[in-house]
Amino acid sequence: MATPRRRTRRLLAVYPARQPPIEELVRLAKIRWRIEHDYRELKTGLGLDHFEGRSYLGWHRHVTLAALAQAFCTLLRSDPKVLSPG
């Protein structure tokens, strides 16, 4: 059974002291969508899930190169001077 002090800590962690404004909640929801979109792009388009090695060093190199490729693609998309394919 939880002591009163432990229960207070748990309640403070679950129930914030103030309700965040709706704009903040919308901003956080958009950030979550962006993270999920980028992760899906890393897995499907850039091969993040294709690594089948056994060493941590190999995995680390693979993930680093995939992240760099994704950063490069993001920079290309954000540059208005680059022509889009098609």
Phi, psi of 35 (to 5 degrees): -65, -45
Q: Which residue has the tokens 């002291």?
A: 17
Full domain range(s) for residue 21: 6-78
Whether residue 84 is contained in a domain is answered as no
Question: Which of 1-10, 23-32, 52-61, 63-72 has the lowest average pLDDT?
Answer: 1-10
Nearest residue to 76 via CA among 44, 46, 36: 46
Question: Which residue type sits at 44?
Answer: T
Whether residue 31 is contained in a domain is answered as yes
Whether residue 48 is contained in a domain is answered as yes
Whether residue 86 is contained in a domain is answered as no
How high does pLDDT run on average in the chain? 81
Which of 11 and 19 is assigned the larger pLDDT? 19
- Alpha helices by DSSP H, listed for 1-86, are 4-14, 22-44, 56-78
Whether residue 83 is contained in a domain is answered as no
Q: Contact at 8 Å (CB) between 46 and 70?
A: yes
Tally of structural domains, the chain: 1
Whether residue 85 is contained in a domain is answered as no
pTM: 0.59
